[in-house]
Structure 1
Amino acid sequence: MTNSALLVMDIQRGIVGRFPENVTADYLTRVGTAIDAARATGTPVVHVVIGFRAGHPEVSTRNKAFGAVAGSAAFVEGDASADIHPALTPQPGDVVVTKKRVSAFAGSDLDMVLRGAGATHLVLAGIATSGVVLSTLRQAADLDFGLTVLSDGCLDGDAEVHRVLTEKVFPRQADVVTVDEWVKAGAERQAG
């Protein structure tokens, strides 16, 4: 798995808080399992977060996704909404990349970090399936990365959209597996 990197995207307090606690508790446990497995196999863990400067100078009012946060403290460094959820706190050796738009590559140095690590294959987990995961998958495919999506390592506010993406759309450009399947495959590669 050393040519892979696990991208854990937008799992921040301000985003996780939009979902019921009974949903997020199991979800965070699953993503934590994927992170632990990545670390155990030497796979780089990259936490990707959305973040802006105070006053949101990067955000145009024409941007439907982010225009509503302009002028607030949302997702500004130092505001609790921008913090990575404490259940998935980065550890020494993890990398944190800040992006400015939906895709993990938009307005970030993610491509440089991945190339520096020698990563040619990305494993994607994050919130939301229809947001950061979809946008990052599309851009990563165009950049010729191999891709795996952890279907239950992704979360979306619309269960049907999540299902269609993970069952019908993502398989065109990525392998789609569960966290348990990915962990088991990594353990078998380590033992083999």
Structure 2
Amino acid sequence: MTRRPALLVLDLINEVAHPDGKYSDVCLDQIESRGVLGHARRAVDRARERGIPVVHVVVGFSPGLADWSPASTLFAEAADGDRLILGTWGTQIHDSLKPEPHEPVVAKRRISPFRGTHLELILRSLGVDTLLLTGVTTDLVILSTAREAHDLDFRVEVLEDATATSSPELHEAALTLLRRTADVTTVDAALGRPGTAGENDNEERE
């Protein structure tokens, strides 16, 4: 079966993945201890080498918070101290994962990267049928993306070594749920080891 993947880099922004970020207390310790930024960088490098599209997704809200949800307990703190404001340093992608000029950057206002965005349009235009997921957090954006992508008829592979959440226990619990609708794998398994790129990078898999 022909596999036409895209790599999604989800919410690895300064606000969450940098020590100076206003949400660094959420899961930065797990990002660092699991080496998530390094693994995600490896995934990005290998995807680029193999001609696999890389799509970056950032979470944030417009200045003034007109698109912020006052009913959300998850995003409640965003209105406190102007956190997650689009166009600021906090919602920029971490420098170690800086997008290439041609790579799409999708801004989302909710947990799901499909809600109110043009992500699906981008993926359909690229002819993608398989999503490789990296980023944070495993129990929120990764889980939400996998479920919605499943219902949009995409195959999903979660690169678990390039994901994290607030604790190892919650990460493992999320992976248990993810296995219901996605394949849980690793960067090396999904994208190959260095120097193993084949002639057909969107390879056929049985």
Compute the TM-score of the two structures, normalised by the length of structure 2. 0.85
Is residue 2:7 matched to residue 1:6?
A: yes
Is residue 2:148 matched to residue 1:147?
A: no
Residue identity in the other structure for 2:126: A
The answer to whether the 8 A contact 2:134-2:142 is kept is: yes
- Please report how far the alpha carbon of residue 51 of structure 1 lies from its aligned counterpart in structure 2 after TM superposition: 2.0
Compute the TM-score of the two structures, normalised by the length of structure 1. 0.90
The answer to whether the 8 A contact 1:14-1:75 is kept is: yes
Could you list the per-position Cα deviations for residues 26-50 of structure 1 after superposition, in whole angstroms to 9, with x for gaps in the alignment?
Answer: 2211100000011111110000001
* Matches for 1:1-192 after TM superposition, within 5 Å: 3-17=4-18, 18=24, 19-20=28-29, 23=32, 26-70=35-79, 72-166=81-175, 168-184=176-192, 190-191=198-199
The answer to whether the 8 A contact 1:4-1:121 is kept is: yes
The answer to whether the 8 A contact 1:13-1:81 is kept is: yes
Q: Which has the higher helix share?
A: 1
Select between 120-129 and 55-64 the one with higher mean Cα deviation: 55-64
The answer to whether the 8 A contact 1:55-1:72 is kept is: no
Count of residue correspondences = 191
SS at match of 2:8: strand
Describe the shift of the 1:26–1:135 C-alpha distance in structure 2 as closer, same or farther (beyond 3 A): same
Query: Matches of 2:182 and 2:105 in 1, distance apart?
Result: 24
Query: Matches of 1:176 and 1:147 in 2, distance apart?
Result: 9
Describe the shift of the 1:187–1:146 C-alpha distance in structure 2 as closer, same or farther (beyond 3 A): farther
- Please report how far the alpha carbon of residue 93 of structure 1 lies from its aligned counterpart in structure 2 after TM superposition: 2.4
Unaligned ranges ≥5, structure 2: 19-23, 201-206
Query: Matches of 2:185 and 2:131 in 1, distance apart?
Result: 13
RMSD value over aligned CA atoms? 2.2
- Please report how far the alpha carbon of residue 96 of structure 1 lies from its aligned counterpart in structure 2 after TM superposition: 0.4
- Ranges of 4+ aligned residues in structure 1 off by more than 3 Å: 185-189
Q: Identity rate of aligned residues, in percent? A: 35
Residue identity in the other structure for 2:186: T
Query: Matches of 2:33 and 2:108 in 1, distance apart?
Result: 23
Higher relative contact order (CA 8 A, sep 6+): 2
